[in-house]
Chains A and B, each alone.
Chain A
């Protein structure tokens, strides 16, 4: 099973600040890494697919990068509505797995 390790677990950020979340895979997964946003009491929403492809309708301040084992989700100029937990997800190999999540709080 491929283990995804996200860091940090928690981040408190002021509006307009830049946020960087990392996801490290226990073995190479190419670009088969996706990012989701989950707000309280809501289902997850796809932000970035295949490491760097923005999903339709996602604001341009969200971007992704990386390949192999190291990946990054960047939120440029954080907005209040971005308060949420962010998860990475690998679809290289079954069983599919998720990272433990990064909670982003607005100061």
Chain B
């Protein structure tokens, strides 16, 4: 079964850190670029970041650059998002998604999302 499963969300105070994980199965993870997309409560979709299939290339939205870091472990079919210096505006459901090997493909696989709430 082709799927992505996110975990690691929760409630965290502003300025603190959180690490999200995304576990993949049913497709060739090691050949796939992986993205994070977030959705604030009641709002639209916002692209956050992408990592290349080999982990060497990473790109971030301006809103998270310098605070969030992507990594992946192809031996474990796992993607990670380290989120530091969290702000209230980072509150959102975080989805991992992929369109295959190319960053520029449509996202045909999405996870179910994990909720991150940044609040004091």
Contact = CB atoms under 8 A, between A and B. Distances in A.
Interface of A: 1, 32, 34, 36, 38, 43-46, 49-50, 55, 87, 89, 91-92, 94-101
Given A95-B61, A98-B45, A43 B112 contact: yes
Nearest to B45: A98
A91 B108 contact: no
B110 A98 contact: no
Interface of B: 35, 37, 44-47, 50, 59, 61-62, 95, 99, 103-108, 110-113
Max chain B CB contacts within 10 Å: which of A1, A38, A55, A91? A91
A36 B110 CA distance: 11
Contacts of A91: 99, 103-106
B46 A98 contact: yes
